[in-house]
């Protein structure tokens, strides 16, 4: 994409309403535009990141054996009355009536609807286990939306729902999602720590939140330092096998959110030199809640003995529109965002340091075409503006690698590669530049973790 033809409304000044780093940078980098209290339009640069986040989530959900579908945003209130949650949910639920005066709601979550779908089509234990997921927009009427898309009223979420014949089977499904989440967040360049958590209005007695440590985090978190360096399960993980050892290895170390934290337990289980007290951002949560919904809604299958069995369920959420700012909170500097390659809107940017100079124009265009031919997602800053402004824009929007073509270097047959994360600069011959970028980008892009 040529930047002169792209829609990238970057801002020089920081908007006053932005309270945290990610909100400031997402507005300044032209990623989002506020359209109302807690509601944002995702502009092209931000939407590219959101789509790359979604791709990784879908890949890992599919790998774990979950099956994708799509449910509507509007739901019938009757389903929620069946589960008993309609009156209990509170003012966060956006309620309305259609033209026939039927009570409707804009879905804040989908336990009721997926249970209705399940009971309509699944009749036998032979069809279990089953895990269905979708990625859909949701709405919760937050009393105080803030921090940009970190806590917005409208948000994009992946929610998966497992159905199993027994609690033991349901815990195995829980473990599959637990491991899938470890892989998902690691592939996005984040260190996400699973922490014991309250189940809240979702229900049940088993839950973990996945927390990214950040100074601006909403919650206090406490954990064993060894949680930060643990090995992530690899792409060859057998999701049909027993994942209990992996989950037990992670949960054996103390890690808890503020609601679940106990000072006595923390000091008893964690040596003083291993204690971490920090703040964190929740990017996902997994729940086992048994028959909380399947019971009142009559979701049963015929068991092996021919008798009806009420299925055990779990739910597993990831907030996509929270992940994007969480990555920024964890990966930025004073100049802007620093994207991991796996979710970067563009993997490399060609910077023409002197637009209008015939040699710079020709070399930059050729390099851009070569990058595209090599399969690299590249941006070309071909704007008729000074080099300083181009460097500032490239740093602000966080492209992992900058390929800089200037008159002095080209006269020597060379260009520069700047690593956004480290600031390192390499001088390299024009002929080797694209090959060098491929060796930098492809390993980071591959599904190797």
User: CA–CA separation, 398 vs 379, rounded Å?
Assistant: 12
pLDDT tens digits for range 48-93: 999 999 999 999 999 999 999 999 999 999 999 999 999 888 899 9
Using DSSP's 3-state secondary structure scheme, residue 54 falls into helix
Residue 262: enclosing H or E segment and its boundaries? none
Task: Give the Cα separation of 380 and 404 in Å (integer).
Answer: 10
Give me the percent of the chain exceeding a pLDDT of 90: 89
The token pair at 446 is: 């591959």
Does residue 146 have a cis bond before it (omega within 30 degrees)?
Answer: no
Q: Determine which helix (DSSP H) or strand (DSSP E) holds 368, and give its type and residue range.
A: helix 358-373
Superfamily of segment(s) 346-445: Anticodon-binding domain (3.40.50.800)
Residue spans per domain, the chain: 3-336, 346-445
At 238-280, the pLDDT tens digits run 999 999 999 999 999 999 988 889 999 999 999 999 999 999 9
Q: What is the pTM of this model?
A: 0.95
- CATH number of this structure's domain 3-336: 3.30.930.10
Give the position of tokens 């209705």: 116
d(C-alpha 249, C-alpha 170), whole Å: 19
């Amino acid at each position: 994409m040529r930047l002169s033809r792209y829609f990238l409304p970057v801002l020089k000044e920081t908007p006053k309403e932005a309270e945290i780093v990610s909100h400031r940078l997402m507005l300044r980098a032209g990623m989002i535009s506020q359209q109302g209290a807690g509601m944002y339009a995702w502009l092209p640069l931000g939407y590219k990141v959101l789509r790359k986040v979604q791709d990784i989530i879908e890949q890992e959900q599919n790998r774990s054996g979950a099956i994708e579908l799509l449910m509507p945003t509007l739901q019938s209130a009757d389903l929620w009355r069946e589960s008993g949650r309609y009156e209990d949910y509170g003012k966060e639920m956006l309620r309305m009536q259609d033209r026939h005066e039927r009570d409707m709601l804009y879905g804040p979550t989908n336990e009721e609807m997926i249970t209705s779908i399940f009971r309509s089509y699944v009749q036998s234990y032979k069809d279990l286990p089953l895990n269905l997921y979708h990625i859909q927009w949701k709405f919760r009427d937050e009393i105080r939306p803030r921090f940009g898309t970190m806590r917005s009223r409208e948000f994009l979420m992946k929610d998966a729902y497992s159905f199993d014949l027994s609690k033991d089977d349901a815990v195995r499904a829980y473990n599959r999602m637990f491991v899938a989440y470890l892989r998902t967040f690691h592939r996005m360049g984040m260190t996400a720590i699973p922490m014991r958590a309250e189940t809240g209005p979702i229900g049940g007695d088993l839950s973990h939140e996945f927390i990214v440590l950040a100074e601006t985090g909403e919650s206090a978190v406490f954990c064993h330092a060894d949680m930060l360096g643990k090995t992530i399960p690899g792409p060859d993980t057998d999701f049909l096998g027993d994942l209990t050892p992996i989950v037990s290895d992670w949960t054996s170390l103390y890690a808890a959110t503020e609601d679940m934290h106990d000072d006595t337990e923390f000091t008893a289980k964690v040596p003083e030199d291993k204690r971490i007290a920090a703040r964190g951002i929740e990017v996902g949560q997994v729940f086992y809640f048994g028959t909380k919904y399947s019971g009142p809604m009559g979701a049963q299958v015929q068991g092996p003995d021919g008798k009806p069995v009420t299925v055990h369920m779990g739910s597993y959420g990831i907030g996509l529109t929270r992940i994007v700012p969480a990555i920024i909170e964890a990966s930025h500097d004073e100049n802007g965002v620093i994207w991991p390659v796996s979710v970067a809107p563009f993997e490399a940017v060609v910077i023409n340091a002197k637009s209008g100079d015939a040699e710079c124009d020709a070399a930059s265009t050729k390099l851009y075409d070569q990058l595209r031919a090599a399969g690299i997602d590249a941006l070309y800053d071909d704007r008729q503006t000074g080099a300083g402004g181009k460097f500032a824009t490239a740093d602000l929007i966080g492209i992992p690698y900058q390929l800089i073509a200037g008159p002095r270097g080209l006269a020597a047959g060379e260009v520069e590669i700047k690593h956004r994360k480290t600031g390192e600069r390499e001088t390299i011959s024009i002929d080797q530049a694209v090959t060098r970028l491929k060796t930098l980008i492809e390993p980071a892009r591959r599904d190797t973790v």
